[in-house]
Structure 1
């Protein structure tokens, strides 16, 4: 649905204000992979269509999923969607999301933390081609914490995987009524978002691969004419 100019101006003002907002938690004080009292650690992995071993195939599963992760397209717009951003994910860039929660809408500020784009070697010696990034919550967000999203291809087997990892807790910033509602219903919505993101990523990746394969190919004989 097309937004009115008034709403667009409001979204622009909200986004332009994000650089002045601090994070609402200190990432350096936490190990994002270990549970702490009052914090949730969520980890979801979704297998995607595999490829042959070796580097990613042009137009294949990993490249398609990389684009979806870069553009935040795996998020279910019925729950949350990106409204404004400053360009592709880069450390320090801000983005504004619109969260939908039991008929209400909330505008959520985030700041990108880290971006990874290259071959990584795991502790077991396996190597993978990885693209991913994380975002951290700003003051005024309903939550506090960080979410990482990445797509990974194991070079030895060709397996491709979408991975979400989140470390979070309800924020104390919003008004008391909103805070109470989020504490009662927010966890359910959170888990629903993660699960739908995995299903949506799988479906969109398969559709993207199919569309690439259906693209007309140039007849090599044309080059000889």
Structure 2
């Protein structure tokens, strides 16, 4: 098995996705509602609280920011994100390796925006927020955007992780993949969200216990090159 890092194994695909278009129109995000056939999801989990005031340099909020930046929180048996480690976050393109039953699939996403701000809430308190979204590219089985964000209430010290997404099944030409995704796609979406919440909290707690030992940016089992995956080749051919 190759010892090359995942981003080297997937270099050609990363380069191809760098110029790929979205499979939906981000400018119409306000129109993507349940009434127009889109799924809207929101998930949240509490993280260790901090003292009131701005986020602590080595507290839960900053630890969560690092985990989020490194993309180590998704369950690796379901989704693994592969990206160039020295690429600026706001320019990042990722190859997502997805697993479903006996198949391995390869999808592309691109960071659509980074949030780094302090907001004033209706009750007058302030909330410090950091996060980013990524958007699905051509060939993805889904269409839409998912936002990951870390929040801290500066008045109370409460810290939490939030996931927001809007999505819709994309174009799937292969009938076997279409049926599988229709039957299990929603279940896998929810599993991704719930396990991502738990894994991020676990990694944050571990960082706080160990004195800021950061998880590896490619903390996932090794994989083979895409050329060795017959199912992946078929999926890629169908998506073009």
Q: CA RMSD in A?
A: 2.2
Q: Tell me, yes or no, if structure 1 residue 159 matches structure 2 residue 158.
A: yes
- How many aligned positions are there? 211
Q: Tell me, yes or no, if structure 1 residue 96 matches structure 2 residue 92.
A: no
How far 1:180 moved relative to its partner?
1.9
Alignment of 1:25-36 (within 5 A): 25-31=24-30, 34-36=33-35
- Larger mean CA deviation between 98-107 and 118-127 belongs to 118-127
How far 1:111 moved relative to its partner?
1.1
Q: Tell me, yes or no, if structure 1 residue 68 matches structure 2 residue 67.
A: yes
Cα 1:8–1:89, aligned 2, differ >3 Å: closer, same or farther?
Answer: closer
- 1:23 matched residue in structure 2: 22
Cα contact 2:63–2:212 (8 A) shared by 1? no
Provide the C-alpha distance between the structure 2 equivalents of 1:3 and 1:46, rounded to a whole number of angstroms. 37
How far 1:97 moved relative to its partner?
1.1
Provide the C-alpha distance between the structure 1 equivalents of 2:209 and 2:7, rounded to a whole number of angstroms. 35
Provide the C-alpha distance between the structure 1 equivalents of 2:201 and 2:116, rounded to a whole number of angstroms. 21
Relative contact order, higher structure (CA 8 A, sep 6+): 2
Cα 1:140–1:57, aligned 2, differ >3 Å: closer, same or farther?
Answer: same
Provide the C-alpha distance between the structure 2 equivalents of 1:160 and 1:9, rounded to a whole number of angstroms. 36
Structure 1 unmatched runs, 5+: 215-225
Normalising by the residue count of structure 2, what TM-score does the alignment of the two structures yield?
0.81
* Secondary structure of residue in 2 paired with 1:194: helix
How far 1:33 moved relative to its partner?
7.7
* Secondary structure of residue in 2 paired with 1:201: helix
How far 1:36 moved relative to its partner?
3.4
